[in-house]
A and B are shown apart, each in its own frame.
Chain A
Amino acid sequence: MLALILKRLLTAIPVLLVVATLTFFLMRMVPGGPFDADKNLPPAIVANLNAKYQLDKPLAQQYVIYLSRLAKGDLGISYKYVNRTVIDILSEAMPVSLQLGFTALLLAVIIGVPLGTLAAVKRGTWLDVTAMFLSTAGISVPGFVIGAFLIFIFGIWLKVLPVALWESPWHMILPAFTLAFSPAAYLARLTRASVLEILEKDWVRTARSKGLSHWSTVIKHTLRNALVPVVTVLGPLTAILITGSFVVEYLYAIPGMGRFFVTAVTNRDYDLIMGTTLIFAALLIVTNAIVDVAYQILDPRMKVEG
């Protein structure tokens, strides 16, 4: 087990390196630099700024400089948020995003898994049809529409919840539900398919014929097995949550990583773009490693290779 975790973490390094390299050159190939947008700075000052941040050196040399700094754990500095390092910004933004992400994930599981199970158990009834319509609708609504809808209902119309910023637990409710919406729908669809398959297994029929109650069969014998594929999608789910955070943090003006990423791209804030991208990639790699390990615990028949 430990060997597996170590191995996964070791393979993460080349992957992160590839991501770093691609992002670095993608960004630098773009015309325009971080100091272009400001109101016409004199060329001498721009040259000075570029020299200060070593942006005047050949690209290959900048790349080497960046990587050697990265190896020391230095993610560089922001060109837009004056005198703040990328690590500084991210260490403030990351807890916010993680808190939002975990809450949304929890909500998605609490809503999605029961909904999918119910739909599968009551297959073909109006309950199933409604649940499946809801979940297909759920993966079809853009996040900003859900967000705007919730803001309009609870913020503007009923005036019961704050619609922006990140100050109290009350501020978390709308963003968390917005972010949870499409993962919940995704989980509901997946759980339904998975439960349906398990319900047809022989041992479920055996459990039934032994006289176990309906729901006891579902919960003890079916759900536990049906949850294996659900756990494996934690990777894609994290990706959905990251993508969702771009929109949700923009909508609700939340100072998280998603919002910093979007503004950094707009501002050509090179090091901040690199920093956020690398953190996102690392987050996904860690999640996928956790999934592999969880997979083995849940289903010992599965031996993960590689």
Chain B
Amino acid sequence: MTASVNTAGQETEKPVSRVALAFARLKKIPAAYTAFWVVCLICLMAILSAIGVPLSPYSFDQATDDLLVAPSMKHLMGTDELGRDLFARVIYGSRLSIAIGFVTAGVAFLLGTTYGAISGYCGGKIDTMLMRGVDIAYSLPDLLVMILIGVLVGKGTFGILFALGLVSWMGTARLVRAQLLQLKEEEFVEAAKAAGQDGFTIVMKHLLPNAMGPIIVALTFTVPSAILSESTLSFIGLGLSAPECSWGTLASDGWRSLRAHPHLLGFPSLFIFLTVLSFNALGDGLRDVLDPRTRLFKG
């Protein structure tokens, strides 16, 4: 990261932390900066809902006496066939959707970084062996693999998290490996070796911090793709289902009554779209900020 600090040094006089620096640069990209705040708002909504803050008048049990009413001032997003206020349900569903996104990114980070670091740092035969399997699994469509794994673990939150986690770390592993293969040829690694540092220290202290930019960018894209996958799986009936409540299950329920009550599909879809769009826009911005070398889609 020394290179980026140097270029930034020209912009500001006093030393600034890396995070503050990245944030300052992000501010200059309007789309990404807006997306950042939308992401913050949505996450705040999920967290507040999870700790029990009533964000809607019907948050307590979602129940009302109005069945299947269209959106109005009383029910901002209308109600479903059991009279549950959709706005309250969408807020409630945000917990699971957002949690799934972040947990998947967390798994991708831990598993992917470890695996990729071992493969990239060791190189040679170990690398070939470790990456061959990943290459095969990676060439299959994510959703296909998730469905197959999902069958094994079963439905429910754990099953879906397991399937998402198992699939999503492979991209990170490949990225970390590629970064490390490149970085370990740098002179500062040789210097560290000469100074007698062991492999673990070199990876943790010298290699991974330098690869952090691209890793963070990749993780920012993992969150929305996990949210998309969950909602798609739930929609086609291979993901979560009642009593679980996520934006995917809400959309899936809404699909059945699209003709008569389009709001039941429309509002959950809108939230999925807004969230995923914001994360993607934020990711695009972060890529420009943190990882100037990579272009949009490396092919």
Interface residues of A (CB under 8 A from B): 15, 18-19, 23, 26-27, 29-30, 133, 136-137, 139-145, 148, 151-152, 156, 186, 189-190, 192-193, 197, 229, 232-233, 235, 239-240, 242-243, 246-247, 250, 261-262, 265-266, 268, 273, 277, 280-281, 284-285, 288
Contact = CB atoms under 8 A, between A and B. Distances in A.
Interface string B266-288: 00010011001100110010000
B297 A280 contact: no
Contact of B228 (A15, A136, A142, A229): A142
A140 B235 contact: no
Contacts of B143: 243, 246
A26 B272 contact: no
A232 B144 contact: no
B148 interface: yes
Contact of A243 (B142, B231, B272, B281): B142
B238 A247 contact: no
Contacts of A239: 139-142
A103 to B, nearest CB: 19
Given A144-B235, A148-B265, A277-B148, A156 B140 contact: no
Contact of B144 (A193, A242, A268): A242
Nearest to A268: B151
B136 A136 contact: no
B140 A144 contact: no
Most buried by B among A136, A143, A240: A136
Contact of A247 (B140, B142, B151, B235): B235
Contact of B295 (A27, A133, A139, A197): A197
Nearest to B138: A239
A233 B299 CA distance: 6
A1 B259 CA distance: 54
Given A142-B272, A152-B258, A277-B148, 18 more contacts: A15-B136, A23-B148, A30-B151, A30-B152, A30-B154, A142-B232, A144-B251, A148-B269, A151-B258, A193-B297, A232-B299, A233-B297, A239-B141, A243-B142, A250-B236, A262-B147, A280-B144, A285-B139
A266 B238 contact: yes
Contacts of B139: 15, 235, 239, 284-285, 288
Contacts of B31: 133
14 contacts: A18-B133, A27-B148, A142-B231, A143-B232, A144-B235, A145-B251, A151-B258, A152-B258, A233-B297, A242-B141, A243-B142, A246-B143, A273-B148, A281-B140
Contact residues of A: prevailing secondary structure: helix
A19 B237 contact: no
B156 to A, nearest CB: 14
A18 B136 CA distance: 8
B165 interface: no
Contacts of A247: 232, 235-236
B68 to A, nearest CB: 17
Q: 4 closest Cβ contacts across the A-B interface?
A: A193-B296, A140-B277, A239-B141, A140-B276
A23 B269 CA distance: 32
Contacts, number: 128
A242 B146 CA distance: 13
Nearest to B150: A265
B136 to A, nearest CB: 6
Interface residues of B, number: 41
Contacts of A265: 147-148, 151, 238
Most buried by B among A23, A140, A233: A140
Contacts of B101: none
Interface string B117-138: 0000000000000000100100
A273 B149 CA distance: 12
B155 to A, nearest CB: 10
Contacts of B231: 142, 144
Given A136-B277, A137-B277, A193-B296, A243 B238 contact: no
A26 B152 contact: yes
Contacts of B284: 136
Contacts of A27: 148, 151-152
Contacts of B102: none
B140 A280 contact: yes
B58 interface: no
B258 A148 contact: yes
Contacts of A19: 136, 140
A142 B247 CA distance: 12
A266 B265 contact: no
B23 interface: no
Given A139-B280, A140-B277, A144-B255, A26 B151 contact: yes
Nearest to A149: B269
A156 B259 contact: yes
Contacts of B228: 140, 142
A136 B144 contact: no
Nearest to A228: B299
